């Protein structure tokens, strides 16, 4: 029976990946930064699947060398999901960038040493379409430009997360290009947009912030920008499919189900009984003023008045992806926020 190593098993996407893998008959070994969260992970997974005798745990840290080689030994595949997530302002960009890049290196080198069949990295659309001012159409082959002077996390800390995901993914591809052919393993990346949908734990994930801000009253009005959405279950399923599909090697997989105006998201919530969702959108100058006092709102300033056109060609053509309806994902997310009393 094949065994899959999943880094970051307690996280929003990681839990869904583990669930999908166990459903398909794999044994999973997952890393936690703190092994004390083991029972929390088991409890979360047992809501949807019996993980008895199908799940192993280990304690690993993205910032430390110890244990990676030993823990990945005996695993056939690796899903590297773990990465620091921080949306909004951060005092020191290196607190996000260094763990993302160094953690990727540690996991990748251990996977290569143990000659796994395939290494799947959870990257992000941030590595495809961040920092552009005039470009609105993106596909799997596009790259965020780390040399763009307007995309400097040390001058504008709001870019730290996007920079970390881009640099980590570039590190993956550059490292694979640099090693001997005999040492290479198959790799690919998953590049989702804003991930929403039901969480398997009480942690709703950072990306669901976009929904929460329409529910908790912190945004008294909507904003005129396009938001690209994908359901977390789709993201997990595409990790597994990319792991086993023979044609997925050396590919990037942009995942975006639908792009809609943020006001449309608010309207979906409001007509389905979530009455705090704003009825009106504010002019862009009001949003820019509001962003001076809310670091989370600053994340959207470059998108004001813009709606992207995204083409997830590799996922559609290679992985045969049939995306879920994101309107249902929006409502599932909102309902869970209320059920967990996080609003």
Which domains are delineated in the chain? 3-339 (3.40.50.720)
pLDDT of residue 87: 58
Q: Catalogue the active-site residues.
A: 165
| pLDDT score, position 114 | 98
Give me the pLDDT at residue 89, please: 56
Q: Please say if the pLDDT value at position 90 is more than 60.
A: yes
> Which residue pairs, CB below 8 angstroms and at least 24 apart, start in 90-93?
90/157, 90/160, 91/157, 93/153, 93/154, 93/157, 93/159, 93/160, 93/163, 93/164
The predicted pLDDT at position 132 comes to: 87
- For residues 23-44, give the mean pLDDT: 97
Residue-level pLDDT at 245: 98
265-292 pLDDT, tens digit each: 999 999 999 999 999 999 999 999 988 8
pLDDT score for 13: 97
pLDDT single digits (tens) 251-271: 999 999 999 999 999 999 999
pLDDT band with cut points at 50, 70 and 90 for residue 149: confident
Please state, in angstroms and rounded to a whole number, the distance separating the CA atoms of residues 189 and 192.
10
């Amino acid at each position: 029976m094949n065994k899959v190593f999943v880094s970051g098993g307690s996280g929003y996407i990681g839990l869904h990946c583990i669930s999908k893998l166990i459903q398909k008959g794999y044994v999973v070994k997952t890393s936690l930064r703190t092994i004390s969260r083991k029972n929390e992970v088991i409890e979360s997974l047992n809501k949807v699947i019996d993980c008895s005798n199908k799940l192993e745990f280990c304690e690993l840290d993205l910032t430390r060398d110890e244990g990676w080689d030993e823990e990945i030994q005996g695993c056939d595949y690796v899903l590297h999901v773990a990465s620091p997530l921080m949306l909004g302002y951060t005092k020191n960009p290196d607190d996000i960038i260094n763990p993302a890049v160094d953690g990727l290196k540690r996991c990748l080198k251990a996977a290569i040493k143990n000659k796994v069949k395939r290494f799947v990295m959870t990257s992000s659309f941030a590595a495809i379409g961040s920092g552009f001012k005039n470009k609105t159409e993106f596909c799997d082959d596009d790259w965020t430009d780390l040399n763009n002077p307007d995309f400097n996390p040390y001058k504008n800390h709001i870019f730290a997360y996007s920079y970390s995901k881009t640099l980590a993914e570039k590190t993956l591809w550059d490292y694979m290009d640099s090693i001997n052919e005999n040492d290479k393993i198959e790799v690919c990346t998953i590049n989702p947009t804003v991930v929403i949908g039901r969480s398997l734990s009480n942690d709703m994930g950072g990306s669901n912030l976009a929904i929460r801000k329409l529910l908790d009253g912190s945004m008294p009005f909507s904003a005129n920008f396009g938001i690209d959405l994908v359901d977390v279950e789709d993201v997990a399923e595409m990790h597994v499919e990319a792991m086993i599909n023979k044609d997925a090697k050396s590919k990037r997989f942009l995942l975006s189900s639908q792009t809609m105006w943020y006001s449309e998201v608010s309207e979906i919530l409001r007509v389905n009984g979530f009455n705090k969702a704003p009825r009106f959108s504010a002019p862009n100058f009001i949003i820019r003023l509001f962003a001076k006092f809310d670091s989370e709102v600053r994340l959207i300033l470059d998108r004001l008045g813009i709606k992207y056109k995204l083409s997830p060609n590799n996922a559609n053509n290679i992985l045969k992806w049939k995306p879920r309806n994101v309107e249902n994902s929006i409502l599932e997310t909102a309902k869970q926020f209320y059920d967990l009393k996080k609003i």
